[in-house]
Copies of this chain bind each other. A is one copy, B any other.
Amino acid sequence: MEGALAVDDLTEMLKGTLEGCVLEIIGGEETYGYAITRRLNELGFADVVEGTVYTILLRLERNGLVQVTKRPSGMGPPRKFYALNNAGREEVARFWTKWEYLSSRIDKLKEGGR
């Protein structure tokens, strides 16, 4: 019954897009790593695991795209909440531009490719 989905491994295809997805989620509301992972799983990115998301979050922080606030949880260890700053908002806009561009080219190739 487990992941009997049509797709077995999106890993390589997610390169470059997963970071954008995380940015978009953070842009929607201030949130933290564990919740982002769950959110991604719900959205259909079923195989994305915590280690991957945390790597991305650390990278976002290192690149100065997010503002980080640590808050106690009551449900376990303290959480690190992430919110976009100006640079982050610009980056997420760039991401969507790139995605739009790429997906239009690919769809065109798929249609009139021959």
Contacts and interface: CB of A to CB of B under 8 A. Distances in A.
A108 interface: yes
A108 B43 contact: yes
Nearest to A6: B97
Number of copies: 2
Nearest to A19: B12
A34 interface: no
A1 interface: no
Nearest to A95: B13
A102 B12 CA distance: 11
26 contacts: A5-B101, A7-B97, A7-B98, A7-B102, A10-B101, A10-B102, A11-B16, A12-B15, A13-B98, A13-B99, A13-B102, A14-B16, A15-B16, A17-B106, A21-B106, A21-B109, A24-B109, A24-B110, A25-B109, A25-B113, A28-B113, A29-B114, A43-B108, A44-B108, A96-B110, A103-B106
